[in-house]
Amino acid sequence: MINAVLVFNNSGQPRLTKFYTQLETSVQQRLISEIFTLVANRPNSSCNFLPLPPLLANSSKSTTPGAQHNDTPSLVTYRHYATLYFIVISTSTESPLALLDFIQVFVEALDRLFENVCELDLIFNFETLHATLGEMIVGGVVVETGLDKVVEGVRSQGKVAKRPVNESKGGLTLSGFGRGEVPWAGR
């Protein structure tokens, strides 16, 4: 299952935090900053999988291998779009490559909703950001990966607000984020 979805920007400021297990706020913040440290030092040519951050590595080491194995978060997947990092922490029941696609769908859905999405949209409409994620993941389990259905689901909850007019700036440039044209598209 998916344990957490995080979005933060290039300087480590959170834009979305969603933990599918209850976690102390301070621990949440520490985890975010640990992951940011890991992710910020990676060149663009690196792969999209992170080693486990110390917080998770220590706790997963302590559990006995085998029985507990599938319950422990073991995979940190991320994608970097313009100014934002999208991170998914998951257990081994998720497929690493499919998660990359999942993030892509998430961003595409946001792009569809906001028409050329950029970080500012997400800052000012973080409720919509949560609603979009809520259409895709419930309780750590993926419920929808179809772009149209996700967008439809969010729109049914009400009009998606536009960013304030005077705040406009370049979007996340969906077509241009490095390896955006996923060759292994899982859809």
Number of residues in contact with another protein under rule CB under 8 A: 103
Minimum CB separation from another protein for residue 89, in Å?
A: 6
Q: 157-176: which residues touch another protein (CB under 8 A)?
A: 157-158, 161, 164, 167, 169-170
- Angle, helices 96-114 vs 147-155, to 10°: value is 40
Q: Applying CB under 8 A, does 147 fall inside the site for another protein? A: no
Please name which of 174, 162, 100, 109 lies closest in space to residue 135, comparing C-alpha atoms.
109
Binder among 116, 176, 181, 185 for another protein (CB under 8 A): 185
Measured distance CA(2)–CA(19) in Å, rounded: 9
Binder among 113, 131, 151, 160 for another protein (CB under 8 A): 131
Binder among 115, 116, 141, 176 for another protein (CB under 8 A): 141
The arrangement of strands across the sheet holding 2-9 comes to: 14-19, 2-9, 84-90, 75-81, 49-50
Q: 93-122: which residues touch another protein (CB under 8 A)?
A: 93, 95-98, 100-101, 120
Q: 5-64: which residues touch another protein (CB under 8 A)?
A: 9-34, 37, 40-51, 53-57, 59-64
User: 75 with 99: CB under 8 angstroms?
Assistant: yes
Measured distance CA(117)–CA(113) in Å, rounded: 8
